[in-house]
Amino acid sequence: MLQAKLIDFLQQELSLSADSIALALRQRELTPYLLPMILWQYGLVNLKQLDQIFDWLEAA
């Protein structure tokens, strides 16, 4: 599943905490498919990391 791979990427490559990811996942229930933007909106990733996430998603 792509979401599980994305979460692994966020934890392994960007060193996001499980709490940060859990917060974004809770918010994502209200806005499906926007996990990367939610992480950025809450200041959990910076713009460079957001670009990395989108690059990863594009390659996946």
Domain around 17:
2-59
Confidence (pLDDT) at 31: 66
Comparing 30 with 8, the larger pLDDT belongs to: 8
Confidence (pLDDT) at 52: 96
Domain count, the chain: 1
Confidence (pLDDT) at 24: 87
pTM for the predicted model, two decimal places: 0.66
Q: How far apart are the first and last CA of the chain?
A: 11
pLDDT in tens, 24-51: 888 777 665 788 998 999 999 999 999 9
Average pLDDT, the chain: 90
Confidence (pLDDT) at 48: 97
